[in-house]
Every structure is written in C-alpha cells, then in structure tokens.
Amino acid sequence: MRQLKAFALAAAVLLSTSTAWVQDSLAQSSQITIARPVSTTAMDPGFLREAATIVDNIFDTLVMRDKSMQLVPGLAESWKPIDDTTWEFKLRQGVKFHNGEDFNADAVKFTIDRIIDPAAKSPTLSYIRTVAGVDVIDPYTVRIRTTEPDPLLPTRMSRYPAYIVPPGYVKQVGNDGFATKPVGTGAYQFVEFIPDQHVKLKANPGYWRGKPAIEQVTWRAIPDGTARITALVTGEVDLIEGVPVDLAPMIAGSSDADLVQVKNGGLTIYLGLVMKDKPLDNVKVRQALNMAIDRKGIVDNILKGMATPKGTQVGPADFGYLDIPPPAYDPKKAKALLAEAGFPDGFRIKMQSTLRYMKDGEVAQAIAQQLGDIGVKVDQEVLDWSVYVQQVPRKGPIFMLGWGSTQTLDADAAVYAILRTGEPYSTASIPALDKLLDESRKIVDPEARKKVLHAIQELSAEQVPLITLYQEDSLYGKAKSLNFEGRPDARIPVFEMSKR
C-alpha cells in the first residue's frame, strides 16, 4: 500500500511540475538555478551522507567563516575556552527558526545530543568526535565539554553535523520527516524537494544577517558534464559546480558565461606509499620517487594550469600551513639515490589509480612514464572508484588519492588521517611522525600547536611517507549576470550572491 502511494504521488508530481513552476509570480531577476553533478538525498544536517552544499543555505552554525576563511561569530556571538576541556559559547539573541521557534541554548544542546547519541548512528559523528556533552548555563550560554583537549572545537562548530536544528519541529516530524522538509535559521527556507529533480528554497525575510538579495533558488542535479555546461551556456541555469577540465573551454568561449577558478579550492592529490612493503620501507627509495616526478609539467600540460604543485598536504588557507616548495624535478639525483639504496637498475612496482579526479588517468600515465625514466617500471592498475576506495588503505603499493582539508581549513584534517600509523586511510608508519601527530591533537594554545603542525610538515617532506603532487583548483561556471566568486571551503552560500 505504501508503495502504491509512493508511485501515485510521484506520478502526480510528474504531471504537476510544469504547471506549478509557471504559476510562480516572482520576478525573474531574483531567481537563480544552480546545477550540481550529484543529486541530493536528504537534508538533515546531522545525518548527511553527502556534501552540505544545500543545507548550508538552510541552517546556520554557531561559528561561521567569512569570505577570507576567518572564523567569525555565527549563531554564537563569542566563544572562549574555560579550561582544557570546556568551551563556552555566548549565543545570539532574537534569532528565530523558519517555523517561528526560538533559537536558544536548548536548541544547541538538542542538536549536539542528537548526533552524539551512539544509538543515532550519525555518519558524520567523527567530525565532532571529541564532544562529550553540552551544558546549558542560561538560555543564551552553553558550555561544550570535550573528552580531551580539543583546539579544533570552534572549527568543528562551523560545519556539519553541527548546524543548529529546531528541537520542537524535529520532535514533531521525526528525523525522517525532517530530512525531507528541513527547518533552520539560515538565509533560505525550504520550499520543495523532488528527489533527482530539484530542491527549491526561498529567501528568509527575517534573516538575522539581513534579507538575501536572491529571492528564490532552485538546485538541480545534472550528472553529465556536457549537459551541465550546455544548461549554463544556454541560460537554463545560472551556476554550475564541477566543471571537467576538458570542457572548461566551452565556458571560457561563451559570451554569456564565465569560468570561476578558485585556486587551492579542491583536493590535494598525492601518491600513497604502502610503507611496510619493500622497497618503499627505504627512505631513499621514497625520496627518489619524490624527485622523479615533474609536477610542473603535469600541471601545465595535462591539467592546463588548473592546479598548483605542492610540497605539503596542508592547504595555504589552512591553519598551520607551512610553505614547503614542491621538490625539484631531478631524475639524475633520483637515479643516484636509487643506486645508493641498492637499486641501481630500478625495480618493478604496481601503482593503482582511479577515475575520479581531474584527468587522473592521464596524470597516472605521465607519472608511470616519469618513474620509468629512473628505472622504476610501473604496472598500472585503474579501478572503478567504488571498488578502489575500499582497497586504498591496504593495497598499492603505490596508489593515487585526493585528500582535502577545505571543509575545516585546518592542517589536522589534511595530515592526521593519512599519516598517522593505523588510521584507516594511512599506509604510513613513522614513529617520530606519530608522536608529533598525537601531540598536535592535545595542544589547545594556537601558537604552540602551529609549531607542532609545522614540524609535522617538515618531517614529512624529509621522510616522504607519501608523495604530495598538487592541489586542484575548484572550477565553477557562472552566468555573466550573477555575482559569485567561489570560496576555498567549497561552500556555495547564495546569501553572498546577487544578480545584475
């Protein structure tokens, strides 16, 4: 019966979509449509299994990031550490959820409790894994307790799953109802969600940061790159996310659209090295491989300049970034190092890669060729992402992977999970590095922490537990009439946009 209802409902929606849109009387100029490659499945920020791009416009966090990626007050007006494991947040007063509910300390406690409840099985629990509990001090003051000193707590409160939800409404509709009809305090309020078709939002007139310039925004999913760019160039949509490098000229050559290139806005691509396998256990071999790769050549020729060669996994906008230049391309020295390590004639090794990142197939081929130049014969294996992602932590012995810290803009996200011995995505094992990594997670004082993060990057550059290649730009296409700059944290806040 339930199935029959679902079928009938979908059939009815299909028939009515065209007419419903026509009835909209909003001025054309203040409406925009944004196309993303992926469909949205659900919009409960506590239980997301996808990027928070859309919910970011519906909800607010206690702490926000401005355009220059600095942490600024959001729903919290201020915050400070009380002791090593307690942070106090003073909340903004007079903010209301879209349904009229008041935002207050109870809402914060409800939001966090809902996620850290082990029975709730939130898929993004790990993003706030240090949170032990929330104490309501008064209606506009909360204290968040952590299980250990956590310097990143304010950062954790700036992203999902910590978007603040309305307790009354969530209790009333349940988690499932909330995921398809979300209510937040954000710049846009929910209008309509039709799976695989669109999500519609309209401006929140009482928004605490002021009324948004764009009245209505429709999010569409267009999986195919050519179709997505065509939709932009022909004016069907105003903004697209995910522009394939090969197709970027289609936008650049259009008179109605612009390519938006956000430097260091994407993933950092690296070669993981399974360090327990011979000969990668030898630091000289790792150093040799590191300098045998022509990063600049790859970026200029294959990626058409849409990436930046790098010498550290940490992004330039991250807290704790140390400007380590990429190692110089020096095949002669690499060969000499290999000989010193006992491999004058090189060796044979398998390299795995996938098809997910910018032109990764061609990049992998170029790397195989360059390693071949120093006598390392590479057997390439290219796997589908869904298979690849599960093998990565174990196989290799060389594997290509993209890793990002743009969601937190802190060095911790860029290094810990892929360098610390025993972490699921880490194939590195350097005891001195582990010591530094563990230490970095326990220091709350920013200056002291920065020093340790720098030491981690210096040691990595010397020991080469993995080979950092380059950081991708993030590419968007936008209509010329739309004001949109693109952010390093990959968010698309419609609140910051306007239309000419």
Q: What is the rounded CA–CA span in Å between residue 168 and residue 43?
A: 17
Query: Which residue's CB is nearer to another protein, number 236 or number 439?
Result: 236
End-to-end CA distance of the chain: 49
Considering the complex, state which of residue 335 and residue 420 has its C-beta at the smaller distance from another protein: 420
Q: Which is nearer to another protein, 205 or 424 (CB)?
A: 424
Residue with tokens 């697209």: 240
**By C-alpha distance, which of 137, 136, 91 is closest to 110?**
136
Those residues whose C-beta lies under 8 Å from the C-beta of residue 184, and which sit 6 or more positions away, are 45, 55, 58, 59, 60, 97, 98, 163, 164, 165, 166
Under rule CB under 8 A, residue 221 binds another protein = yes
Nearest CB to another protein, comparing residues 50 and 102: 50
Determine if 85 is a binding residue for another protein (CB under 8 A): no
In the bound complex, what is the minimum distance in angstroms from residue 227's beta carbon to another protein?
Answer: 4
416-455 footprint of another protein as x/- string (CB under 8 A):
xx----xxxx------------------------------
Output the DSSP codes for 410-450. Answer: BHHHHHHHHHSTT-TT-----HHHHHHHHHHTT--SHHHHH
**At how many degrees (to 10) do helices 431-440 and 446-463 cross?**
160
Q: Shortest approach of another protein to residue 98 CB, angstroms?
A: 22
H or E segment at 163? none
70 touches another protein by CB under 8 A: no
d(CA 303, CA 399): 19
Decide if residue 18 touches another protein (CB under 8 A).
yes
Taking CB under 8 A as the binding criterion, the range among 362-370, 383-391, 448-456, 486-494 that sits at the site for another protein is 383-391
Scanning 7-15, 90-98, 311-319, 453-461 for contacts with another protein by CB under 8 A, the matching segment is 7-15
Which of positions 43-62 make contact with another protein (CB under 8 A)? 47, 49-50
* Burial of 314 from C-beta contacts in 10 A (0-12 / 13-18 / 19+): buried
Q: Which of 32, 42, 371, 453 binds another protein (CB under 8 A)?
A: 42
Size, binding site for another protein by CB under 8 A: 61
From 172, 234, 301, 483, residue interacting with another protein (rule: CB under 8 A) = 234
Q: Which helix (H) or strand (E) covers residue 351, if one does?
A: strand 347-354
Residue 406 near residue 327 (C-beta atoms within 8 A): no
383 contacts 361 by C-beta, under 8 angstroms: no
Angle at CA of residue 484, ends 492 and 317, nearest 5°: 65
Residue of 111, 124, 158, 290 interacting with another protein (CB under 8 A): 124
Which residue, chain included where needed, has tokens 């306007």? Answer: 498
Task: Say whether residue 385 binds another protein (CB under 8 A).
Answer: yes
| Site string (293-332) toward another protein, x via CB under 8 A | ----------------------------------------
- CA-CA-CA-CA torsion for 129, 133, 135, 140, nearest 10 degrees? 30
Q: Which of 71, 125, 213, 248 binds another protein (CB under 8 A)?
A: 125
Identify which range of 226-234, 275-283, 314-322, 361-369 contacts another protein by CB under 8 A: 226-234
Q: Segment 149-178, which members bind another protein (CB under 8 A)?
A: 176
CA distance 420 to 152: 18
Binding residues for another protein, rule: CB under 8 A, are: 2-4, 6-7, 9-11, 14, 17-18, 21, 38-39, 41-42, 47, 49-50, 118, 121, 123-127, 129, 176, 179, 194-197, 220-224, 226-228, 230-231, 233-234, 236, 385-387, 389-391, 393, 403, 413, 416-417, 422-425
